[in-house]
Amino acid sequence: MSKIFGKIVKDLEPEEFYKTHLNILNCFLPASQVLSPREIDVLSVFLSFEGEHAEVDRFGTTFRKIAKAKLGGMSDGGLTNHLTTLKNKGVLEENLHQVLSLKSYFYPLTNKEQVYNFKIIKKDGKQD
């Protein structure tokens, strides 16, 4: 008999919504892409930005200034190091115009909600 666990988490502030989403995704990422808690903090701040400009250049200088302040006054070098690490992990990518963007599978379905459905299956101990 299967036991199904369900939970609805609602009324999250935007940064907390994205932080929760990234923490769930993090469980399923390959070892080379697993995010540190601070990388999740950084990405959740950038994901929380809305509007047309955010869609075009979410990781540009305008949003970097705001992100540094939201991340407790992080230095330019500190933020650049985090973004470089995320790029090296394959989480962020540059286009032909050197504009950074997040790989599409890290975005939730909408900016309002995300539903997850997964199943884990234990390997049986039988020998073939």
84 within a domain of the structure (yes/no): yes
pLDDT tens-place string over residues 10-20: 888 999 999 99
User: Helices 76-88 and 61-70 sit at what angle, rounded to 10 degrees?
Assistant: 110
Gap between the Cα atoms of 58 and 51, Å rounded: 10
64 within a domain of the structure (yes/no): yes
* 49 Cβ neighbours under 8 A, 6+ residues apart: 58, 63, 66
> Which domain does 91 fall in, by range?
14-106
27 within a domain of the structure (yes/no): yes
- Asked if pLDDT for residue 127 goes beyond 70, the answer is no
pLDDT of res. 34: 96
- Asked if pLDDT for residue 128 goes beyond 60, the answer is no
pLDDT tens-place string over residues 60-109: 999 999 999 999 989 999 999 999 999 999 999 998 888 899 998 888 87
Nearest partner of 22 among 39, 7, 10, 9, judged by Cα: 39
> Is this structure's pTM higher than 0.75?
yes
2 within a domain of the structure (yes/no): no
115 within a domain of the structure (yes/no): no
Give how many domains the chain has, as a whole number: 1
72 within a domain of the structure (yes/no): yes
